[in-house]
Amino acid sequence: MKTKIITLILLLTGSVSLLGQSVVFVGTVASVVNSGEAVLVIEPSRYDNTGMTLKPYTAVYVYANFGNATDGDKFKVIGDCIGKVHYDKANGALATVWGFRGMVIPILQGQTNY
């Protein structure tokens, strides 16, 4: 069985404080890494209060407890932006996306009140 190694490097110069406010957005899991991290694809949502432009259908990296999540699961993210994050994609290419740290709330299939 092949083991994927994901390398993460935080860019200290890209850190965003957002004045200590928590950010809230909804995303769908594109890839789970070590069950404590995941790449999410941003869903169009009324909850995007990040103070930055998070375009729908773009990827973000989230450090949180994703437990037994699988690709396609949907989560509400409540946390802080930690700046730009680099990670190695499954095909070996390097990607740079916004990183977030916080908690996640699972959204059940068919649930609309999130």
Among candidates 19, 20, 47, which has minimal Cα distance to 105? 47
pTM: 0.76
For residue 97, pLDDT over 90 is answered with yes
AA letter at 30 = A
DSSP string over 58-89: -EEEEES--TT--TT-EEEEEEEEEEEEEEE-
Query: How many CB atoms neighbour CB 10 within 10 A?
Result: 14
- Can you give the residue ranges of every domain in the chain? 19-107
Q: How would residue 102 be classed by pLDDT, with cut points 50, 70 and 90?
A: very high
CATH architecture of structural domain 19-107: Beta Barrel (2.40)
Q: Which of 29-38, 46-55, 95-104 has the lowest mean pLDDT?
A: 46-55
